[in-house]
Chain A
Amino acid sequence: MTAHARPPHEFDARVTTGLGDANLQRSLNALKGTFIAARGHAVTALPEFEALRDDGKAIKDHTLANLDFYLQRYEEEVVRRGGQVHWARDAAEACDIVRTICREAGARTVTKGKSMVSEEIALNDALEADGLEVIETDAGEYILQLGREAPSHIVMPTVHKTTDQIADLFQKHHGELGFPDRTTDAAELIAQVRTVLRDKYFKADVGITGANFLVAETGSNIIVTNEGNGDLTSTLARVHIVTTGIEKVIPTLEDLSVMLRLLARSALGSEITSYTTLSTGPRRSGDLDGPEAYHVVLIDNGRANMLAGHFREMLRCIRCGACMNHCPVYMSVGGHAYGSVYPGPMGAVLTPMINGHEAAGELPHACTLNGRCQSVCPVKIPLPDLLRRLRHQQWEKKFVSAKVRWGVGAWAWLATKPRLYKLATGAAMRVLGWAGRDKGAFRSLPLASGWTKGRDMPAPQGPTFQELWARRTRP
């Protein structure tokens, strides 16, 4: 899949595509009635949800403040149970580690559970380049793999696709696998996925999963799914590889229970996901199943840099997707408009941190800073503040266009010169007020096409408040 390599610029073009995509708009609208409503109910049904958010934040803050300690403890526990931990500085290193493990295992077929980190490091591309057959086992990811597409949401990767589109895709790819007839029945479509994947699970040499959390005290990795594909991926292959970010570690199983309660409610509006799987090391003698070898690849890829400064708070993120579900910009343009692996508010912060400002382009700017994301974030990440701070970095690096710099600079200069400001604005408002008095608003205005493209510009009342106040005359 090369979707991650899409050029990050051309944001406007992708926005236009998203806004004009009737299927996408319908799917996004449907989200409001389902996931958003469900989260609302789940949260009201749990009076202590606010306290739980504080607990979750505190657990993550404590862990991040002592990250070296907990990562070391985690590694010791994994090793004690016969597993191996590998450290990767960046995407390339992470891919190399996984490729080496696959090569040494003599692997030909690899099954994969859903893992945003593997998208982040473009793992499928790397493995396919080595001639490996890579099969996504999460139904959503499987659909995207057939369509050679990138996910548009971190929890519901196919939220942009309609059942009809999926039916077409399956007819094309499953025809020769014993399903010649096109169907739009959701249960039948899922049944097809199950049948096609069943053989693959048994054929797989290596199973790769992500991790929702890592527990330091036991050396376990935790994945939550609603399909159970994660269990099959991690237990049926000879080798289980976990690819995940260093920020996923939490201290104890007790902490895990807090995080799981937050995650399911925030992501899906449910009390718990169908499957919560803890994997701890390879198969022990006497175990009925489990992999022969267990590897964890802990990936930095920009995260350690975030630890030091203002962006540490972003490392609390548990990838629940609530911020994008509640983001009016994401809900208008869809995930692909962001042109990055991680979309929505969390993506607008993470993308410049992981891939740099050059790659992120204007993502931090394409936001009204309305703060709804922060108000639903289970770990209370101040996303608007972080986005503003990223804008500041771009301003300092002169990444902001000359036109904007000039406009903002001129206004800022005027804002500390009250006399000049009054001269400059007073006359303009009089003219505009006079010109607009008959209609009350303008359909178009020179230099204001951005505004008047889709709305009228209400006319000013005429003289400014300061002028009128000096005479104590109401407009």
Chain B
Amino acid sequence: MTINEAHQRSEQATSSPRVALFVTCLVDLMRPNIGFAAVKLLEDAGCRVEVPRSQVCCGQPAYNSGDFASTQRIAKHVIDTFADYDYVVGPSGSCMATIKTGYPALFEDDAVWHARAVKLAQRSHELMSFLRDVLKATPPQTRMAATATYHDSCSGLRSLGIKDQPRDLLARVRDLKLVEMQDSDVCCGFGGTFCVKYPDISVKMVTDKAANIDATGADMLLGGDLGCLLNMAGRLRRLGKSTRVFHAAEVLAGMADGPAIGEAEERR
């Protein structure tokens, strides 16, 4: 960084939004690279990014199991942790949908926490929609020589309306060809705890998905939710397919340079 650039950065620092990264527990545990990609995309777009240390999980496993009391406890922890930022951004449609739509619903009968939940919901965004719709950012161009197909994860698509955002952003990646699969908007069978509670149904669904991915001839599968990506990558691998699976943020940030999800290290 030149002195000039450093100066510009610090200039920006005062006017640029203070963004907290909601890492999501799956990214934290399984694929930190997505977190780094998210930070890079946000910083490139002029944000000051912080990663609150006391964050863990949005509470979806409890919420979707019907354990609303535990979810409320987790939600309060999240609301406290992320109260002081201009924006809260996460690389997952389903986690951000839980915060944006689930939390306010959970506190229907509690005026104080409901107000706080709504306030957090208004400032919370899924990464792709935040970049395109809120910041109207055009990320620095990266290159990825591949033919990719994009899976629309359900919560992001139906609760947050995320469909064109990742495609628009990915269209700028040099040498990346996007091809649509059939039923790109049909559930992959992940569904959080569903995939282990009903493995046979889940595997049937992800097998249908894998067939649609395969039919495109794409050598890369992209998506915006790590849970679904792990599910599809796991099935593709079991079927002996070599389709490389990445989170869209990794490709956009130019960080799809290591092993793909479920890929061995020595492959590259």
Contact = CB atoms under 8 A, between A and B. Distances in A.
Say whether A associates with B. Answer: yes
Interface of A: 12, 15-16, 19, 328-329, 332-333, 365-372, 374-375, 385, 388-396, 400, 404-405, 408-409, 411-418, 421, 425, 429, 437-441, 443, 448, 450-451, 453-461, 463-466, 468-469, 474-475
B61 interface: yes
Nearest to B54: A418
Nearest first, the 10 A-B pairs at minimum CB distance are: A368-B191, A391-B66, A454-B203, A455-B234, A450-B196, A458-B262, A412-B70, A465-B32, A370-B187, A370-B154
Among the interface residues A19, A416, A443, which one has the most CB atoms of the partner chain B within 10 A? Answer: A416
Nearest to B70: A412
Contacts of A414: 56
A453 B231 CA distance: 12
Contacts of B35: 465, 469
A119 B63 CA distance: 34
Contacts of A389: 66
Contacts of B55: 418
Contacts of B234: 441, 451, 455-458
Interface in B30-57: 30-33, 35-36, 51, 53-57
Contacts of A408: 61-62, 65, 67, 70, 193
6 contacts: A371-B159, A372-B186, A411-B62, A458-B234, A469-B51, A475-B258
Contacts of A329: 201, 205
A459 B262 contact: yes
Interface residues of B, number: 76
A452 to B, nearest CB: 8
Given A412-B71, A417-B56, 5 more contacts: A404-B65, A418-B54, A421-B56, A454-B202, A465-B28
Contacts of A372: 154, 158, 185-187
Nearest to A365: B197
B64 A369 contact: yes
A453 B201 contact: no
B164 interface: no
A249 B66 CA distance: 33
A411 B71 CA distance: 11
A455 B206 contact: yes
A16 B204 CA distance: 11
Given A454-B235, A458-B30, A458-B234, A438 B57 contact: no
B59 interface: yes
A411 B192 CA distance: 13
B180 to A, nearest CB: 15
B266 A438 contact: yes
Contacts of A475: 32-33, 36, 258
A171 B156 CA distance: 52
B73 interface: yes
A438 B56 contact: no
B28 A466 contact: yes
A69 B265 CA distance: 70
Given A453-B203, A455-B238, A465-B35, A411 B57 contact: yes
Contacts of A411: 57, 61-62
Contacts of B186: 328, 370, 372
A19 B200 contact: yes
B195 A451 contact: yes
B27 interface: yes
Given A464-B29, A468-B32, A400 B154 contact: no
B233 interface: yes
B23 A466 contact: yes
A450 B195 CA distance: 7
B158 A438 contact: no
Given A418-B56, A474-B33, A328 B64 contact: no
A461 B27 CA distance: 10
Given A409-B67, A440-B263, A416 B28 contact: no
Contacts of A365: 194, 197
B33 A332 contact: no
Given A369-B191, A464-B29, A466-B28, A415 B57 contact: yes
Given A368-B190, A395-B66, A464-B29, A15 B51 contact: no
Interface string B5-31: 000000000000000000101011111
B199 A415 contact: no
A387 B155 CA distance: 15
Contacts of A416: 56, 73-74, 77
A448 B234 CA distance: 13
Interface in B149-193: 154-155, 158-159, 185-187, 189-193
A368 B154 contact: yes
A438 B264 contact: yes
Contacts of A385: 105
A421 B231 CA distance: 24
A395 B261 CA distance: 34
A412 B187 contact: no
Given A425-B29, A464-B28, A466-B53, A412 B62 contact: yes
Contacts of B217: none
Interface in B60-104: 61-68, 70-71, 73-74, 77
Contact of A370 (B66, B191, B263): B191
Contacts of A474: 32-33, 36, 255
A475 B35 CA distance: 10
Contacts of A412: 59, 61-62, 67, 70-71, 73-74
B238 A456 contact: yes
B144 interface: no
Given A412-B62, A457-B234, A368 B56 contact: no
Contacts of A333: 201, 204
Nearest to A426: B29
Nearest to B203: A454
B196 A448 contact: yes
Contacts of A375: 158
